[in-house]
Amino acid sequence: GGNKTRKLEFLVADAQEKGADTLITAGGIQSNHCRLTLAAAVKEKMKCILVLEEGLEPEAKRDFNGNYFLYHLLGAENVIVVPNGADLMEEMHKVAKEVSEKGNTPYVIPVGGSNPTGAMGYVACAQEIMAQSFEQGIDFSSVVCVSGSAGMHAGLITGFSGTQSQIPVIGINVSRGKAEQEEKVAKLVDETAAHVGIPNFISRDAVTCFDEYVGPGYALPTPEMVEAVQLLAKTEGILLDPVYTGKAVAGLIDLIRKGNFNKEDNIL
C-alpha cells in the first residue's frame, strides 16, 4: 500500500475540517498514493478525482497495471490521464475549478501527499519510533529511508529534531539528483517545522541524500535494486518493491559495503 496512509490520516482530516467533499490528487499511472487516497475517500464517503501522469511505457500497457485497474474498481469519480511531463499541480487546480463550478468543495492533495500537513504523519512516526526505542532499550544510530516526494523524509527529520534526537535521517533518492532533492527536502522541513511551531529550528545540515542509486530514472530497474530485492526475499522473507524500497535497500547495502556504517550500528 505504500507509505502514504500516515500522511492521509492528517490530509483527509484537514479536508473534512474544511468542508471538502471531493479529494483531488495526482501521481503516476501506477501510483500507490493515488490508490490509497481513493480508498480513503471511499471510506469517508467522499468523491475522488485522480490526475495521472502518463508513463514512458506504451499506452497499451496501462490497462494491465494493477493500480490502474483498482482505480476503477474502487469507483473513482474521474480518472484523467495527462501527458508525461505535465504540470500536475496546475492540472489539479484546473480540475478543482471545475469541481467548484459544479457546486462541490474540492481539496487538492499534492503528489505523494507531501506538504506540511501530510508530513505531519511522519512527524508522528518519528515520535512513535522514539517511544518504542525507549521502551525496548534500542538506540538507533541512523534512519535510512526513501526520498521521493519528500514528505516522509522531511517529516522524520522534523519529528526527530522536535524530540531533541540527534538521529540522522539519510535519504536514498528515487528520481532526482542530490542537490535538487536535498533542496526539496530542506524546503519541506522548514515548512513543516513552522507548521508545528519550531520555525528556523532545524539546520540545513540535517538533510542528506544519495542519488547514486536512481539508475536510468524513476521506476526504472537497476542491477543493484534486483540484487537487494532477491537478497531480502531469500534471507529475510521480506518483499521489496522495485520502485522505492528496492532502491532504498540497494543504497543501504552499498553504503554498508563502502564503510559508511559498521557492525555495531543499529540502522532503521
How does pLDDT run across 125-168, given as a tens digit for each residue?
999 999 999 999 999 999 999 999 999 999 999 999 999 898 99
Could you tell me which residues come within 8 angstroms of residue 3 by beta carbon, excluding any fewer than 6 positions away?
146, 152, 244
- What average pLDDT does this structure show over 179-206? 95
Is residue 1 over pLDDT 70?
A: no
Q: Which residue has the cell 543493484?
A: 224
Is residue 121 over pLDDT 50?
A: yes
pLDDT at 137: 96
pLDDT at 62: 62
Q: Which residue has the cell 527529520?
A: 157
pLDDT at 60: 47
**Secondary structure of residue 248 in the 3-state scheme:** helix
- Domain 5-112 matching CATH 3.40.640.10: the answer reads no
Q: How confident is the model at residue 181 (pLDDT cuts 50, 70, 90)?
A: very high
- Tell me the three cell numbers of residue 171: 535519504
Q: Which residue has the cell 507548521?
A: 195
- Higher model confidence: residue 2 or residue 173? 173
pLDDT at 56: 66
**pLDDT above 90: percentage of residues in the chain:** 88
pLDDT at 54: 87
pLDDT at 170: 99
Which of the following CATH numbers is that of domain 116-257: 3.90.1150.10, 3.40.50.360, 3.40.50.1100, 3.30.465.10? 3.40.50.1100
Give the residue numbers marked as catalytic. 31
- Higher model confidence: residue 188 or residue 201? 188
Q: What is the DSSP string of 41-93?
A: HHHTT-EEEEEEE--SS-GGGGGG-HHHHHHHHTT-SEEEEE-TT--HHHHHH
- Higher model confidence: residue 163 or residue 22? 22
Average pLDDT, the chain: 95
Is 74 within 8 Å of 42 (Cβ atoms)? Answer: yes
- What average pLDDT does this structure show over 66-93? 94
- Tell me the three cell numbers of residue 236: 529475510
The CA distance from 229 to 250, in Å, is 8
Is 31 within 8 Å of 66 (Cβ atoms)? Answer: no
Q: How confident is the model at residue 268 (pLDDT cuts 50, 70, 90)?
A: very high
Ranges in the chain annotated CATH 3.40.50.1100: 5-112, 116-257
Is residue 201 over pLDDT 70?
A: yes
Is 27 within 8 Å of 52 (Cβ atoms)? Answer: yes
Q: How confident is the model at residue 58 (pLDDT cuts 50, 70, 90)?
A: low
Is residue 107 over pLDDT 90?
A: yes
- What average pLDDT does this structure show over 222-246? 97
Question: Considering the entire predicted model, what is its pTM?
Answer: 0.93
**Secondary structure of residue 26 in the 3-state scheme:** strand
Q: How confident is the model at residue 63 (pLDDT cuts 50, 70, 90)?
A: low
E-strand stretches of 134-259 = 143-147, 169-173, 208-210
Measured from the Cβ of residue 93, the count of other Cβ atoms closer than 10 Å reads 14
- What order of strands is seen across the sheet that includes strand 22-28? 78-82, 47-53, 22-28, 106-109
Element (H, E) at 98: helix 88-101
Task: Say how many residues make up the chain.
Answer: 268
